[in-house]
Amino acid sequence: MAHEMLPVPAPFTGRQEIDLDDVREMISHFHYDDFEEAQELILSALQEINEVYGWVSPEAAEIVAEHLGTTSERIYALLTFYADFRTAPRGHHHMLICHGMSCYVEGSQALVQQMQDDFGVKDSETTADGNMSVQVVNGCLGVCDLSPVVKIDDAYHGNVDAATLTELVRRATTTRSPMTEEENHGSHRTG
Amino acid sequence: MAHTAPVDHLPRLTSKKDYVAFRDTARKNWAELWEGNRTVVSVGVGSSSIAKGALDIFAACRAHASNATVVREVSGNGAFWMEPWIEVKRPGEPPVIYGPVAVDDVSAVLTGARNDLAIGVRSDKEFNGIPSLNDDPFFSNQQPIITRNAGVIEPDSIEDAVARGAYDGYFKALFELSEDQVIEEVTTANVRGRGGGGFPAGIKWASGRKAKARPKFVVCNSHEGEPNVYKDRQLHESDPHRILEGILIACVACGAERGYNYIGGEYPLAIRRFRKAVADAERIGLIGHDILGTGKNVAMRVRTGGGAYICGEASALMYSVMGVKGQPRTKPPRSVEEGVWRRPTVANNTETLACIPDIVVNGGEWFAAIGTEESKGTKLMTVQGPMKRHGVVEVPMGVTLRHVLFDIFGGMREGHEFKGVQTGGVSAGPLTEEHLDLPVDFDSLSDVGGMLGSGGWVVFDQHVCVVDFARYLTAFNRYESCAKCVPCRLGNPALVEILDRIRFGRGTLDDLTLIKRTSKHIIELSLCGLGQVAPVPLLGMMQFYEEEFRRHIVEGVCPTGTCPITAGEPVLAAGD
């Protein structure tokens, strides 16, 4: 059935190697009755993989294509059209800089600029040591009362200014374990 | 999520009598929960509050609560400024809401030792010196209809939803009204498309019903690609059964075999809660074959998007549902003639469908009495920017902008002056001080270049340079252009280039003319709604803040100091 409850994916933990057996097991939950339904499931399947691993590798794309009766070329057309998907692995930590209108109004452009000037990373790039990748969110992270917002791994950081950003990057790049909500306390309170 | 209750305890309902018994039990349990002598603790868990640690608060409540206490995971209630919050209902007392709460406060809040954190009581009267929530302007000025369950029911519990009236409209549509009567109620209600289009849903449904080809589909457009709009996310997270009920009623009324809900991939919690709602409704027999013995069949599919703004456009959305690139196509044929899999498809916005259950239950006349002559009902609105408060509210159509911004959301924060408000997301112009007394409805704002759109409002202050802001909005559209048609694909980058010239102090007055000409081309020649409105925010900025554009060009001054006018050669801004 299309809406059998899918297993809740574990939070992103910075792993990059895609375990193809894992992918096969994930994809096997996508059942379909006919060609049309299989086509409808492609995006959801890719999303599962992207959420767990942070990117979709050519091998994983091949598995999806095979299971859902399409080609990997077609999968790549989707991966490169839809903004959520990544076709290259992330850094050990992944930073989302929200660049929605509310964050813009409260100063997110300066944060994007700072990442470029101080740390040499632009949108969709990874630091030279592979420690942190940056993604500028053209849409919105949806927590506008914390604007401007940065999300590192699973933790949100609100009301970020230049000093906070520097500190966050320093903390993230000196540890390999994912940043958690714990480290976030205090920085998310608004006045 | 913290928990996903097993659905196994739910009964299978195969007749009208079964359903009535199920509903009555749910209502009885609900009443007992609130009238009994157990303490009930509810934590508002939604995307916005999770970002502020609501899951930790929920865990702490479980750890600190006694065995006799019921701890519930409800959703956020739209009041972002008080998140994360806890509601405590002690026996014989009205429920008290506390917020924002830190993990260390939880045990004291539960024992009643932290009344300083209390925001208000859910009651008409104050209690123990704690004011009534109804006295807070954020709540007293709202008219909650489609959000009345937000923060009240457990979104993962179909029993909670049913106890609070979910599926009453569906029940009526199945057993008491004919298909034509349902459509007539919706037509009488004159509920207009809440995604921004404003097209009457009743007319859409009537043509959907007339369509001969089989099978037919209903699509719920829950893709909110627009920055700073999350009314649909809020609806999904707080009351998923309401949306599902709206889709099911539409299916029954139009004679559609299958309903789709297309949800943006950015909202994992909304997707999970809606999927749970579908699984539960399917389990008890409200979806599937021979629903409650009526012989009617409706299937339901949930599809998710991949972060492409354009997929909010109806035809692009349908391509995305079919698993291909979401690029709009020319019309006709309209989607009601040829939609998903080239079959007749009725597509409505989530908020529109969320209005349907109450319309069916209370009648179209009731709905039509709310709001204004041309715009009926209520509207969800999200307000962002340097305001005292943030969140999602539901207000009747026709209230003034000033009322929403300054009464409900408390006005500007200290040190920020109101300069303007960007309406209609990235698809309309800004409004200024002089427009604040306009009523919020489908038509009034459009007359001055604004737009009700999907109800997302971003207030900006004196620190924001309108040239830079206009560039930001144009760059957004450039990035989100699907690249199918040339005017949009090439025109938007050209506009960004011109704006960059001005930002870097190399603009000429001719550039303003050039912007207008290029914009005209994009507006007139683009294929879909995105392109046709892409330059509108820029034109609006130029219209209302022309002086600021001129100062950039003539004096070489950026009044706010935002633009790199003296920085030399134009370079691409970060993020390009």
The CATH 3.10.20.600 portion of chain B extends over 378-461
Do the interacting molecules here have an ipTM over 0.85?
A: yes
- pLDDT (tens digit, 9 = 90+) per residue, B327-351? 999 989 999 999 999 999 999 999 9
Measured CA to CA, the distance from residue B347 to residue B317 in angstroms comes to 10
H or E stretch covering B456: strand B456-461
In this structure, which amino acid lies at residue B358?
Answer: D
Contacts of B118 (CB under 8 A, 6+ apart): B96, B97, B98, B130
How far off is chain B from A138, nearest CA to CA, in Å?
A: 7
CATH class of A20-81: mainly alpha
Cβ pair B80:A83 closer than 8 A: no
Question: Which one of B384, B413, B457, B468 would you mutate to disrupt binding with A, by most A Cβ within 10 Å of its Cβ?
Answer: B384
Chain A residues within 8 A of B386 when measuring between CB atoms: 105-106
Is residue A186 scored above 80 in pLDDT?
no
Chain B residues within 8 A of A115 when measuring between CB atoms: 574
Chain B residues within 8 A of A51 when measuring between CB atoms: 268
The CATH 1.20.1440.230 portion of chain B extends over 466-555
Q: Which candidate, B478, B460, B488, B475, places its Cα nearest to that of B548?
A: B460
Cβ pair A8:B103 closer than 8 A: no
Chain B residues within 8 A of A77 when measuring between CB atoms: 324-325
Per domain, the residue ranges of chain A are: 20-81, 93-184
Query: Domain A93-184 belongs to what architecture?
Result: 3-Layer(aba) Sandwich (3.40)
The CATH 3.40.30.10 portion of chain B extends over 39-140
Q: How far is the CA of B164 from the CAs of A55, B28, B29, B210, in angstroms?
A: 42, 11, 11, 34
- pLDDT (tens digit, 9 = 90+) per residue, B132-182? 999 999 999 999 999 999 999 999 999 999 999 999 999 999 999 999 999
What tokens appear for B557 in the block? Answer: 């001054």
Chain B residues within 8 A of A139 when measuring between CB atoms: 225-227, 266, 307, 309
* CA end-to-end distance (rounded Å), chain B: 35
Question: Which one of A145, A183, A189 would you mutate to disrupt binding with B, by most B Cβ within 10 Å of its Cβ?
Answer: A145
Cis before B332? omega within 30: yes
- Give the number of A-B residue pairs with CB atoms closer than 8 Å: 182
Residue whose pair of structure tokens reads 């633009």 in the numeric block: B563
Phi-psi region of A57 (alpha: psi -120 to 50; beta: other; left: phi over 0): beta
Label residue B337 exposed, middle or buried (CB < 10 Å: 0-12, 13-18, 19+).
Answer: middle
Chain A residues within 8 A of B466 when measuring between CB atoms: none
CATH H-level, domain B166-368: superfamily: NADH-ubiquinone oxidoreductase 51kDa subunit (3.40.50.11540)
CA atoms within 13 A on the CB side of B231: 31
What tokens appear for B337 in the block? Answer: 């003639």
Is residue A184 scored above 70 in pLDDT?
no
Q: How many residues does chain B have?
A: 576
Over range B222-237, report the average pLDDT. 90
Number of H helices, E strands in chain B: 22, 14
Indicate the SS3 state at residue A151.
strand
Is residue B102 scored above 70 in pLDDT?
yes
Question: Which one of B83, B228, B278, B282 would you mutate to disrupt binding with A, by most A Cβ within 10 Å of its Cβ?
Answer: B228
Q: Which candidate, B349, B462, B457, places its Cα nearest to that of B416?
A: B462
CA-based Rg of chain B, rounded to a whole angstrom?
25
Nearest CB to B52 within list A100, A139, A188: A188
Beta strand ranges found along B13-145 (DSSP E): 40-44, 70-74, 86-89, 96-98, 118-121
- pLDDT (tens digit, 9 = 90+) per residue, B32-59? 999 989 999 999 999 999 999 999 999 9
Q: CB A177: neighbour CB atoms within 10 A?
A: 10
Over range B90-99, report the average pLDDT. 95
- For the domain spanning B466-555, the CATH number is 1.20.1440.230
Question: Which one of A6, A42, A43 would you mutate to disrupt binding with B, by most B Cβ within 10 Å of its Cβ?
Answer: A43
How far off is chain B from A164, nearest CA to CA, in Å?
A: 17
Is residue B5 scored above 90 in pLDDT?
no
- For the domain spanning B39-140, the CATH number is 3.40.30.10
Residue-level pLDDT at A2: 39
Is residue A14 scored above 60 in pLDDT?
no
- What residue in A sits closest to B231 (Cα-Cα)? A142
- What residue in B sits closest to A70 (Cα-Cα)? B323
- SS3 string, A25-82, reads HHHCCCCCCCHHHHHHHHHHHHHHHHHHHCCCCHHHHHHHHHHCCCCHHHHHHHHHHC
- What residue in B sits closest to A65 (Cα-Cα)? B323
- Edge-to-edge, what's the strand order for the sheet holding B299-304? B299-304, B258-263, B217-222, B345-349
Measured CA to CA, the distance from residue B472 to residue B549 in angstroms comes to 15
Is residue B2 scored above 60 in pLDDT?
no
- pLDDT (tens digit, 9 = 90+) per residue, A81-118? 999 899 988 888 899 999 999 999 999 999 999 999 99
Query: Domain B378-461 belongs to what architecture?
Result: Roll (3.10)
- What residue in B sits closest to A116 (Cα-Cα)? B574
Nearest CB to B227 within list A37, A81, A100: A100
Measured CA to CA, the distance from residue B542 to residue B576 in angstroms comes to 23
Over range B509-531, report the average pLDDT. 96
How far off is chain B from A133, nearest CA to CA, in Å?
A: 14
Residue whose pair of structure tokens reads 């409105």 in the numeric block: B533
Which of the residue ranges A140-144, B195-199, B414-418 has the most confident prediction, judged by mean pLDDT?
B414-418
Residue-level pLDDT at B448: 86
Nearest CB to B309 within list A46, A47, A139: A139
What tokens appear for B391 in the block? Answer: 């969140």
Residue-level pLDDT at A179: 59
Average pLDDT, chain B: 93
Cβ pair B458:A102 closer than 8 A: yes
Residue-level pLDDT at B427: 86
Q: Which residues of B214-233 are buried (b: 16+ CB within 10 A; e: fewer)?
A: eebbbbbbbbbbbbbbbbbb
Nearest CB to B575 within list A6, A83, A136: A136
Indicate the SS3 state at residue A96.
strand
CB B541, CB B419: distance < 8 Å:
no
CB B48, CB A143: distance < 8 Å:
yes
- What residue in B sits closest to A100 (Cα-Cα)? B227
Nearest CB to B325 within list A41, A77, A115: A77
Q: Which candidate, B457, B470, B544, B537, places its Cα nearest to that of B502?
A: B470
Nearest CB to B303 within list A40, A104, A144: A40
Chain B residues within 8 A of A99 when measuring between CB atoms: 575
Residue-level pLDDT at A130: 83
Model confidence at B376, pLDDT cuts 50, 70, 90, reads very high
Nearest CB to A106 within list B278, B326, B386: B386
Model confidence at B423, pLDDT cuts 50, 70, 90, reads confident
- pLDDT (tens digit, 9 = 90+) per residue, A154-180? 889 999 999 999 999 988 877 766 655
Nearest CB to A5 within list B268, B275, B324: B275
Is residue B96 scored above 90 in pLDDT?
yes
Chain B residues within 8 A of A47 when measuring between CB atoms: 265, 304, 306
Q: CB B434: neighbour CB atoms within 10 A?
A: 9
Widest distance between CA atoms in chain A: 55
Residue-level pLDDT at B195: 83
Residue-level pLDDT at B306: 86
Cβ pair B382:A44 closer than 8 A: no
Q: CB A191: neighbour CB atoms within 10 A?
A: 7
Q: How far is the CA of B413 from the CAs of A127, A143, B387, B402, B406, in angstroms?
A: 37, 18, 5, 15, 11
Cβ pair B272:A8 closer than 8 A: yes
- What residue in B sits closest to A136 (Cα-Cα)? B575
Cβ pair A101:B422 closer than 8 A: yes
Q: CB B116: neighbour CB atoms within 10 A?
A: 8
Over range B82-90, report the average pLDDT. 96
CB B537, CB B474: distance < 8 Å:
yes
